[in-house]
Amino acid sequence: MSLIGRTVRVRVPATTANLGPGFDTLGLALSLYDELEVSVRDAPGACVAVHGVGAGEVPTDESNLVVRAIAHTFRALGQDLPGLDLIAHNSIPHGRGLGSSGTAIVSGITAARGLLDGVVDVDDNRLLALATEMEGHPDNVAPALFGGLTIAWTTPEGPKHKKLMVHRGVSPLVLVPEFTLSTELARSLQPESVPHEDAVFNVSRSALLIAALTQSPELVFESTEDRLHQTYRGSAMPQTRDLIAVLRDAGYAAVVSGAGPSILVLCTSPAERAVAADLAVSSGESPWRALPLAVDVKGATVEFVS
């Protein structure tokens, strides 16, 4: 069956992982999106046009991460990769802890699934496994794929996830700085072991955070305390560390978004979120962009154009 002429449009949300205590486990999809159009052509290879974030910076050939994700999916499903034209409209900042690499991977895998519709059936578990193979951890790709609040874990049979709906009283705020931080550097600062009491502390806070986000938003401040990763990574992003301290001293549930350096603030109303945003913008030594966002509940979507 020829795929030439097939076109799909894909929309994938930004994500924030860890959420404080849920290291490498919890993730949240946010209403900030990268959009992609992929068409199959006669000529081999791939040509990528990038608009918005990453324009003039990311590769526009077969080495592009989205193209690599499409190729990975076709290969895993036993299909030959056709020639591709891609148009990407990116809004998610790169290198800021908002899951941009996971979003690119999920964009490619979702596009491949759409292009192969009617040729190969791919269930959600296989999608998560393919995405995790490329990303290395399921905590960002799970919410990008499925939306909402996700708990992700690994098993001998592969990664798994559980999607939960977030209480309508939770109002996320993301604070994005001008500087970037590599995930590899952030992870290199993690100790190989932590004190037993710190592990127990995070287990309790992670359990409490699930309750706070799904049932009891008034518990969100206490439930976002962490002893496993944020303190160790603070030296790599002192401006993030210091602004989180200012926000938490003022009573706001501020945490590092993913590996950083962006900050996630889980507020309990739009009014509280507006005050927190004003405090952050006026307190930071360098400029911070405040993004009041909603929780995305759909995850990655695909539209068949032709």
Which residue numbers belong to the known binding site for ATP? 93-103
Question: What is residue 258's three-state secondary structure?
Answer: coil
Of the candidates 293, 285, 299, the residue with the CA atom closest to the CA atom of residue 265: 293
Of the candidates 173, 170, 169, 168, the residue with the CA atom closest to the CA atom of residue 278: 173
Dist CA 266 CA 223 (whole Å): 11
Dist CA 75 CA 104 (whole Å): 18
Torsion of CA 288, 289, 293, 298, to 10 degrees: -100
Quick check: 34 and 111 in contact, CB under 8 A?
Answer: no
Backbone angles phi, psi at 48, to 5 degrees: -120, 130
Dist CA 277 CA 246 (whole Å): 12
Could you give the C-alpha distances from 163 to 138, 185, 225, in angstroms and in order? 13, 29, 22
